[in-house]
Amino acid sequence: MLEKLIEQLLKELGQNVHREGLEKTPERVAKALRYLTSGYDKEVKEVLNDAMFVEEYDEMVIVKDIDFFSLCVPSKQIVNAVGGAKPAREVKVGDRLWTLDQGYLKETGVTQVTSRKTREIVEVRTTGGSIRLTPDHPLMTESGWQEAQDLGPGTKVEWINPRSLCRQPYQMTSGYPLGYVLGAVAADGSIQQGRRINLTVKRAEFAEKYRAMFTDAFPGSEPAIERVTVPSSFLKRDVPMLRVRTVSRAIGEKLCRWLGVSEDGSRSKTKTFEFPKVVTSSREMMQGFLDGYCDGDGYAAGSGGRFIVSHNRRFLAALAEYLQTPLARTGTDDGARIYVSSRWDQAGWYGKHGFRRESEFYVPLDSIHASVVGVRRLPPAKKPHTVYSFTCEPYPTFLIGGHLGHNCEHHMIPFFGKAHIAYMPRKKIVGLSKIPRLVEMYSRRLQVQERLTTQIANTLNEALQPRGVAVVMEAIHLCMLMRGVEKQNSKAVTSAMLGAFRDRPETRAEFMELIKSGRGLQI
């Protein structure tokens, strides 16, 4: 029901709720509202949990610096900034951070940095690395944003290899050159560590054509041809060869993903790659693929046709199915071959469909998914951690150790900050942990800061009947940061003084001095 209402609200605002980026917004906002208003489901008795005791203590009891909302990154955690990674504490307004938008690498700018103290930190370990965050910090998973504390082993988190963030971008388009490169690499090349692309061949004309096609497919790349010697087990001697070599993670990752091979390891991928369906996006690209593969691992046959040979039977079977040609064995080994006619693309030739588009052209995403290995809550620190929040534009997300996170892009957070609470017992005291829980209960409602302040004060006064209660709250309001007056450094401070704190100026002054000590709070 709530999701439907939010969907209707978006429509009233003139938004297409089915467009990419808004499809899950009703669900996200509904979840956020239920979370932010969960305080309505609790009562004072439940929160205080009968944790009130009779104790002969009549001095001031203060619980200060109670956080009532924030999503943050610890000061030492590495954030992926443009120009080089840096600890969160060194990120400044105006810095550029790396992020991902629909899987593709983008830059975003820091427009605001805020910080706070906390003792609660979780460590998330994935196959892509380890990061530390506040428990409620969201990370992007296959099923959407999830808080760090809710992740479990096996959850897939969007990730990009941080080592690839300084790479040169390339414009990749469908066509004969890219098809040729894919075919040649599949037949006779190797991709090592996801970034070293090598083609080692005997024929100079093959090496020259491959280099020319590579340069056309990836403008700005400069593959070099080197003379090398390669040991031959058949000839029992070194053989002179030509090697065309390119080192580029941006290109290597894309080739690996088109060919469906691992980006790790250092060995040739010839036996494991898959038929790249992307080459069927155009006749020219498919022709390039066939020519590149035949130049590397094929030979001429009658009537202008050619045979393609491979020990990768899965690839060859997929290609044979596409070309509608039989798959045949070669000799006594486990190799196989297929015949590629010079008229392979002509519809109706021997009843074949000819060229048939089976894929739209696409460029593989920059990101992949890393699996969560484990999540552990770190022991409470003796000294609080300083954690930082970043507001970014035009993308609200940013990369943390290569993992995509954000500061609550889809949630509705009216204000956040700190509460300072004191009371002077008459006979009853309450467990100190119950006071932050009381703040949490009332803050998770549709609130204004003034009401929140008096509710906390009045509740403690009624429950404990002390000689006095004092509550001071300082908060940053997003409505002031994002709209209207747009004052980025302003804070709202409210107070409620009851009993001795209202009647005795010296008691009130002592409280105010104590909550300012070591913090520089200006009231």
- Residues β-bridged to residue 107: 98
- What CA–CA distance (Å, rounded) separates 508 from 107? 49
Catalytic residue at 411? yes
- What CA–CA distance (Å, rounded) separates 12 from 199? 58
Active-site hit among 137, 406, 411, 420: 411
Residues 6+ positions from 456 with CB-CB distance below 8 Å: 419, 421, 438, 439, 442, 471, 496
Active-site hit among 360, 465, 479, 486: 479
Asked whether the bond before 394 is cis by omega within 30 degrees of 0, the reply is: yes
- What CA–CA distance (Å, rounded) separates 446 from 413? 10
Task: Dig out the tokens for 353 from the structure.
Answer: 């469909």
- Residues β-bridged to residue 428: 54
Active-site hit among 409, 450, 462, 486: 409
Active-site hit among 408, 440, 447, 455: 408
Active-site hit among 385, 403, 406, 410: 410
SS3 per-residue string spanning 115-155: EEEECCCEEEEECCEEEEECCCCEEEECCEEEEHHHCCCCC
**R_g of the chain, CA atoms, integer Å:** 32
Bin 282: left if φ > 0, else alpha if -120 < ψ < 50, else beta: beta
- Under 8 Å between Cβ of 98 and 107: yes
Catalytic residue at 477? yes
Catalytic residue at 449? yes
Task: Label residue 147 exposed, middle or buried (CB < 10 Å: 0-12, 13-18, 19+).
Answer: middle
Catalytic residue at 192? no
- What CA–CA distance (Å, rounded) separates 109 from 96? 5
- What CA–CA distance (Å, rounded) separates 491 from 482? 14
In 10 A of CB 142, how many CB atoms? 10
Catalytic residue at 392? no
Sign of CA dihedral 323, 327, 331, 335: positive
Q: Are strands 468-477 and 415-424 parallel, antiparallel or unpaired?
A: antiparallel
- What CA–CA distance (Å, rounded) separates 110 from 95? 5
- What CA–CA distance (Å, rounded) separates 405 from 402? 9
Active site residues: 408-411, 449, 477, 479
